[in-house]
Amino acid sequence: MKDVNTLVKLPELTGTMRELSMELMKAGIIEEMVGDALPSEEEAEDEEAEEEVDKVLSELTGERFEGAGSVPVVEVPTAEVEEEPQADMDEMRRRLDALKS
């Protein structure tokens, strides 16, 4: 064990591991950015398959629903939707303040 301790310099190893961790994080971020910017082959194939399915469905359902007319649009009041997140935020702030004190 003493021989291993003399061979391994812990501070130097720690610094190397930090550098490796940072480089791996950078590589992961770069890979994610490239993946977001350029669609992969699977995504392109999925999009093509979805388009084909949509075409077939529209052909099949188009014949059945030609005389059905349009679908009514239902509007959701925005005031009700926005109140809940604000109430949640207030609750979270109160809980955070309680934890701080």
Say if 53 falls within a structural domain: yes
Structural domain count of the chain: 1
- Does 48 reside within a domain? yes
- The parent domain of residue 38 ranges over 1-60
User: What per-residue string of b and e applies to 89-101 under the rule 16 or more CB within 10 Å gives b?
Assistant: eeeeeeeeeeeee
Domain membership flag for residue 36 = yes
Q: Specify if 5 maps to a domain.
A: yes
Tens digit of pLDDT per residue, the chain (101 long)? 788 877 888 888 888 999 998 898 888 888 888 877 776 666 677 788 888 888 888 887 776 666 555 666 667 666 555 556 788 888 888 888 888 87
Asked, for residue 8, whether it belongs to a domain, the answer is yes
Residue 89 lies in a domain: no
